[in-house]
Amino acid sequence: MDAAEFRRRGKEMVDYVADYLENIEKRLVYPDVEPGYLRSLIPTEAPLEPESYEDVIKDVERVIMPGITHWHSPYFFAYFSAASSYPAMLADMLCGALGCIGFSWAASPACTELETVMLDWLGKMLQLPECFIAGTHGSGGGVIQGTASEATLMSLLAARCKAIRRVQATNSNYSESDVLGKLVAYTSEQAHSSVERAALIGGVMMKQVPADNSYAVRVDMLKKMMEEDKAAGLIPFYVRQHTNQNKACQGVDDLYMCVLQFCATLGTTPSCAFDRIVELGPLCNEENIWMHIDAAYAGSAFICPEFRPLLNGVEFADSFNFNPHKWLLVNFDCSAMWVKKRTDIIGAFKMEPLYLKHENQESGRSITFTHTHWQIPLGRRFRSLKLWFVFRLYGLQGLQAHIRKQVALAKVFESLVRADKRFEICAEVIMGLVCFRLKGSNELNQNLLKRITDSREIHLVPCQLSGRFVLRFAICARTTESSHIQQAWRHITQLTFELLQEPSH
Ligand code: PLP
């Protein structure tokens, strides 16, 4: 394909994409295929001779579209939203064309510098405390990770490194592996599975703190759990920088466990609950525990002053993360992470072979960040372009309007559910997620969800709250309107009517 053909095919592709998105609601949101459907539709080997573009594009409808779950359909209400907007798609196209791999400042100065400034812009939109902003002289700063899971893992690994060094500073007899086996982290029982996974990867024991009736962790619960562990002989001492207790520790066996991290969630996956970070933060600071905040979904809403109080307490955190690729109109992947002290994270992972060095080497100046020291892979795409396009083309007000509209739509759905006495709301509706169920058994609700899924007209996923099977209705697509919510509810009540007609019910 030469440049002339690329121009033509590119314009056709833009038309194809615009047509797809404009007409998406005519497609059934959930695919009607069986596992393995695709293998029989394409050859078993890659072609030896080049094929024509026409043949390839024809196969998009024949092979790919039947197996697509249409995440951007206004009838998609599953998981959490996956952000999408035309400005972000255009920026991604430019990113693909530039194709630079921005691991260091020299590898593409614009890539490093725009990312640093965009994370500052975004941090200011969220009113993050000054200590998270890189600016020109700050000691904190932001980085774009691929996903919240990676941000959680990086924070855990950085906390692990810090804890190991701290323990070794109190007793140089401890080897890294002596300490590693004794580390424990805490998180909510409602935390996303990626938090537990980070601990698995990091070789750290993770303990789950019970949540209250609103599915949030409160400080007394974390405190109680840590005290119980201590009473059970699990934690003879907490590692604290300023106590003498550390010095009392003579051998490795005395060092049973040390608490390295508490991972708080703002906007839990099952029900969008908010851990009480205003209470938890001071305890973590006092006990020298790294507090990471995972606000993967809800973080976007903090750009609205009315939701910002839910982020109060972030000043106690060592790291904070949310996904603009969930709710801030920036297509996947773009997960924003800030640290208060970038030396904590860079210090843990810095590797500097000769081929990464350059004459404008990082000298503490934020504009020359080597972001690759903040992440697992070396290579990194120019993802901040998406933020730049979206921020400029929507403006803060446009982004706030998007969040507010989606929260208002969730309230519309909540009122429809509340008006029907056969149903109940299962958690407070704070943002764009409504947890609801038919009053009755788990089996009844499982059957209802099965009917919904089999109909393929709308798509929801379940969660478990207090042992009950609950349906999650998340406002996801940018194009969802009140009419789609009304239609979705009519569909749910029709399926409910049919279900309740069955003799077994
Ligand atoms: N944390 C929370 C609270 C989530 O809801 C999710 C996904 O929905 C994640 C983490 C994982 O996000 P990612 O796919 O960006 O790793």
Kindly state if the Cβ of 368 falls inside 6 Å of ligand 1: no
Q: CA geometry: angle at 211 spanning 205 and 215, to 5°?
A: 130
In this model, does residue 367 exceed pLDDT 80?
Answer: no
Spatial CA neighbour of 410 closest among 435, 393, 387: 435
pLDDT digits (tens, 9 = 90+) for 112-140: 999 999 999 999 999 999 999 998 777 89
What number does the ligand 1 atom closest to the CA of 269 have? 5
Residue 163 placed within a domain? yes
Name the residue with higher pLDDT: 296 or 242: 296
Residue 469 placed within a domain? no
> Ligand 1, from 323, 334, 431, 472: best to mutate by most atoms within 8 Å of Cβ?
323
Kindly state if the Cβ of 344 falls inside 6 Å of ligand 1: no
Question: Could you tell me if 345 and 160 are in contact, meaning their C-beta atoms sit under 8 angstroms apart?
Answer: no
In single-letter form, the type of residue at position 56 comes to V
CA of 490 to the centre of ligand 1 (A): 30
Over residues 89-99, mean pLDDT: 96
DSSP string for 265-303: EBS-TTT--B--HHHHHHHHHHTTPEEEEE-TTGGGGGG
Kindly state if the Cβ of 170 falls inside 6 Å of ligand 1: no
Kindly state if the Cβ of 327 falls inside 6 Å of ligand 1: no
Residue 301 placed within a domain? yes
In this model, does residue 249 exceed pLDDT 50?
Answer: no
Domain assignment of residue 273, given as a range: 103-132+142-238+258-355+366-390
Residue 122 placed within a domain? yes
- Cα separation, 363 vs 58, whole angstroms: 53
Domain at 292, CATH number? 3.40.640.10
- Cα separation, 307 vs 430, whole angstroms: 9
DSSP string for 344-372: HHHHHH----GGG--TT--SS-GGG--GG
Residue 83 placed within a domain? no
Residue 8 placed within a domain? no
Question: Could you tell me if 21 and 88 are in contact, meaning their C-beta atoms sit under 8 angstroms apart?
Answer: no
Residue 439 placed within a domain? no
Q: How many domains does the chain have?
A: 1
Read off φ and ψ for residue 407, nearest 5 degrees: -65, -40
Which residues are CB-neighbours of 505 under 8 A, at least 6 positions away? 444, 499
Task: Give the pLDDT confidence score for residue 244 in this predicted structure.
Answer: 40
Kindly state if the Cβ of 321 falls inside 6 Å of ligand 1: no
Kindly state if the Cβ of 275 falls inside 6 Å of ligand 1: no
What number does the ligand 1 atom closest to the CA of 333 have? 15
In this model, does residue 372 exceed pLDDT 80?
Answer: no
Kindly state if the Cβ of 335 falls inside 6 Å of ligand 1: yes
- The overall average pLDDT reported for the chain is 90
Task: Give the pLDDT confidence score for residue 267 in this predicted structure.
Answer: 98
Question: Could you tell me if 27 and 75 are in contact, meaning their C-beta atoms sit under 8 angstroms apart?
Answer: no
Band of residue 373 on the pLDDT scale cut at 50, 70, 90:
confident
Residue 448 placed within a domain? no
What number does the ligand 1 atom closest to the CA of 298 have? 3
CA of 268 to the centre of ligand 1 (A): 9
3-state SS record for 172-237: CCCCHHHHHCCEEEEEECCCCHHHHHHHHHHCCEEEEECCCCCCCCCHHHHHHHHHHHHHCCCCCC
Residue for token digits 């990194």? 380
Max Cα distance, the chain (Å): 78
Task: Give the pLDDT confidence score for residue 6 in this predicted structure.
Answer: 96
Task: Give the pLDDT confidence score for residue 320 in this predicted structure.
Answer: 97
